[in-house]
């Protein structure tokens, strides 16, 4: 054999998935999802092991990449203070710590993370005012219905034209 081949497999096992510890849960008070820089987010946290002083919060931004390297992807750990089951998390102080946009906060109880939800930090950076944009999901079904009618009609017309031309032709080909 000219070149040796390596045959091996790596298995990545997350420690918290193999343990019997439950994931913490959280909900944002008032279901608010948009926050400015340096604002406090109030969370109701349900933890299953440990104390309130053991809780950390991480935030990940919604970055994307095309070839496996996202230069803007960062995990930050904002300031957290907890009293009982209520925690206050302070959003990043300015654009130099984290750019404006969508983020996912995770509550960490030891090594075990919670599920997350999407929040927007620093408002609407593009000034899109999303509430004023047309609701595409409402017009989408209308467009799909019209497309379906057009396709069905086109198919029917093509089928009729095919049958007409086949019946008028003097071809040697016969349907069996």
pLDDT tens for each residue of 148-159? 666 677 777 777
What is the per-residue pLDDT across 8-50, written as a single tens digit (0 to 9) for each? 888 887 877 778 888 899 999 988 888 999 999 999 999 988 8
Which residue, among 35, 27, 40, 30, has the nearest Cα to 101 in the 3D structure? 35
What mean pLDDT is predicted for residues 122-143? 56
The answer to whether 103 and 60 are in contact (CB under 8 A) is yes
Which residue, among 56, 115, 97, 103, has the nearest Cα to 80 in the 3D structure? 56
Provide the pLDDT confidence category of residue 133 given band limits of 50, 70 and 90.
Answer: very low
The predicted structure's pLDDT at residue 73: 75
The answer to whether 96 and 6 are in contact (CB under 8 A) is no
pTM of the full predicted structure?
A: 0.62
């Amino acid at each position: 054999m000219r070149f040796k081949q390596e045959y091996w497999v790596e298995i990545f096992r997350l420690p918290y998935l193999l343990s019997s510890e439950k994931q913490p849960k959280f909900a944002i008070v008032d279901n608010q999802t948009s926050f400015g820089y340096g604002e406090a987010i109030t969370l109701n946290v349900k933890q299953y092991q440990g104390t309130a002083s053991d809780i950390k919060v991480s935030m990940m931004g919604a970055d994307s990449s095309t070839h496996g390297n996202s230069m803007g992807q960062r995990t930050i750990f904002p300031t957290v203070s907890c009293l009982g089951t209520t925690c206050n998390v302070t959003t990043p102080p300015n654009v130099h710590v984290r750019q404006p946009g969508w983020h996912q906060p995770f509550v960490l109880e030891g090594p075990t993370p919670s599920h997350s939800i999407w929040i927007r930090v620093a408002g609407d950076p593009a000034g899109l005012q999303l509430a004023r944009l047309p609701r595409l999901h409402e017009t989408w079904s209308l467009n799909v219905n019209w497309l379906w009618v057009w396709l069905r009609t086109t198919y029917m017309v093509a089928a009729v034209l095919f049958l007409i031309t086949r019946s008028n032709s003097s071809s040697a080909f016969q349907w069996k």
